[in-house]
Structure 1
Amino acid sequence: MKLTIFAATGGIGRQLFEQAIAAGHDVTAVARNPRSLTGAARLVAADLTAADPAVLASAVDGSDAVLSGLGPRKPRSEAGITSRGTKAILTAMQTTGVRRIVVVSAAPIGTVPSPGRPNPPKHDPGDGFFMRHLGSRFARTMFSAHYADLAVMEDLVRESGLDWTISRPPQLTDKPLTGTYRTAYGQNIRGGTHASRANVAHHMLAVIEQPSAIKQVIGIAD
């Protein structure tokens, strides 16, 4: 399968890249500085904060699917990058006729207001007592600008007209790939407080060819 991976040097993006290469996919990797990546792949340098539309169109043209691990490396200082970068990716896909995209978001986003969802539910249906009353409130306070941007990003993806899937993991870890994790459509995972970047990437790659995952938000946790 021909895949284009954005933010391929980031935490989840590098896992997507390495696992896709290992699985034998034909990979185009897009990053600000992709020279640190090794493997049989096409490397494209692009800064999604000010992307050249022609470069992004070339990166996605002919791909079977696009995967995005885009997100700020420093959430408090780079809020806005995810929505801006995702908008550029979606435009490139619409220009070239590529339809399948899988993006990563975050577990608390289901309760974060956005222009497209001004009145979200107060609680995610998958959250237990702790997350409902303490955990999610703390997370939203700590990362409010980042989460607001992710909520806008999700709006853009939903409104794109493409065949999208949104992955919503909780706190990310660098634990190794196990391939064992829990998922749920349309809600978070009860008691799911962590997910390894490797397992999130594994699931994102797995859902590419699952018709049931199209136009779905999927919670995931180890």
Structure 2
Amino acid sequence: MKLVILGATGGIGRQLVDRALAAGHDVTAVVRDPARLTARPVRVVTADLAAADPAALRDAVGGADAVLSGLGPRSAADVGVATRGTRAALSAMAAAGVRRIIVVSAAPVGTVPSPGRPNPPRHDPGEGFVMRHVLTPAIKRVLRGNYADLAEMEEVLRDSAADWTVVRPPRLTDGPATDGYRVAYGRNLRRGFTVSRADVAGLMLRLLDRPDSIGQVVGVAN
């Protein structure tokens, strides 16, 4: 497949590039700083997705089979990059006739309000007592801005005509690829506290061949 990877120098983005190349895919990496991209051979497109200019992405996505996004705010200064970058990507995809996009979000986001969804469910159906009443509320307080950005990003996808899939992992680790992770559609995983970035990338690539994942939120955890 011809794949476009957004945020290709981030933690999940690097894993996506490496695993996609190992699987024989044709990869275009969209990055702000090409010097940080070590994987080759890939086509590199330089674009600041925080600036959200769809024109900068049109050539990148033209002829692609799918777009994979590891975009997400790494700090308070980056809040907004997921929403703006995804909106720009969707605009470029629509202009180029590309429909498939798979993005990374986060496990707590299903209960985070967004402008078009001000009253989300109070709890995720897959969460146990500790996650529901202790861990998730604490994490959401600390990362309020980050999750608000991801929640709005998900809303942008839901309102689009794209064939989207949202992957919601819990706390990410730098562990190796195991492919022994658990997956659930429409909910988080009970006792699913961590998952490696490598496994999230592996799942995203597998979902390319899963049409039943279109229009779905997919929980993943060890």
TM-score range, shorter chain: over 0.9
Task: Tell me the secondary structure at the aligned position of residue 78 of structure 2.
Answer: coil
Task: Tell me the secondary structure at the aligned position of residue 95 of structure 2.
Answer: helix
CA contact (8 A) 1:112 1:147 kept: yes
Q: Measure, in 2, the Cα distance between the counterparts of 1:145 and 1:50.
A: 18
CA contact (8 A) 1:3 1:25 kept: yes
Q: How does the TM-score come out when normalised to structure 2? A: 0.97
Q: Which residue of 2 aligns with 1:4?
A: 4
**1:213 maps to amino acid:** S
Q: Measure, in 2, the Cα distance between the counterparts of 1:167 and 1:51.
A: 22
Q: Measure, in 1, the Cα distance between the counterparts of 2:218 and 2:34.
A: 29
Task: Tell me the secondary structure at the aligned position of residue 177 of structure 2.
Answer: coil
1:155 aligns with 2:161: no
Q: Measure, in 1, the Cα distance between the counterparts of 2:45 and 2:5.
A: 10
CA drift at 1:116: 2.3
1:211 aligns with 2:211: yes
- 1:154-193 aligned within 5 A: 154-193=154-193
Structure 2 unaligned blocks of 5 or more: none
Q: Which residue of 1 aligns with 2:220?
A: 220
Q: Measure, in 1, the Cα distance between the counterparts of 2:181 and 2:19.
A: 16
Q: Which residue of 2 aligns with 1:133?
A: 133
Task: Tell me the secondary structure at the aligned position of residue 198 of structure 1.
Answer: helix
CA contact (8 A) 1:8 1:34 kept: no
- Report the CA distance shift for 1:16/1:38 in structure 2 as closer, same or farther (over 3 A): same
Q: RMSD of the TM alignment (CA)?
A: 0.9
CA contact (8 A) 2:52 2:87 kept: no
Q: Measure, in 2, the Cα distance between the counterparts of 1:72 and 1:122.
A: 24
Q: Which residue of 2 aligns with 1:63?
A: 64
Q: Measure, in 2, the Cα distance between the counterparts of 1:215 and 1:124.
A: 18
Q: Which residue of 2 aligns with 1:83?
A: 83
CA drift at 1:159: 0.7
**1:125 maps to amino acid:** P
CA contact (8 A) 1:13 1:68 kept: yes
Q: Which residue of 1 aligns with 2:19?
A: 19
Q: Measure, in 1, the Cα distance between the counterparts of 2:116 and 2:163.
A: 18
Q: Measure, in 1, the Cα distance between the counterparts of 2:74 and 2:115.
A: 25
Q: Which residue of 1 aligns with 2:117?
A: 117
CA drift at 1:50: 1.4
CA drift at 1:77: 2.5
Q: How does the TM-score come out when normalised to structure 1? A: 0.97
Aligned length: 221
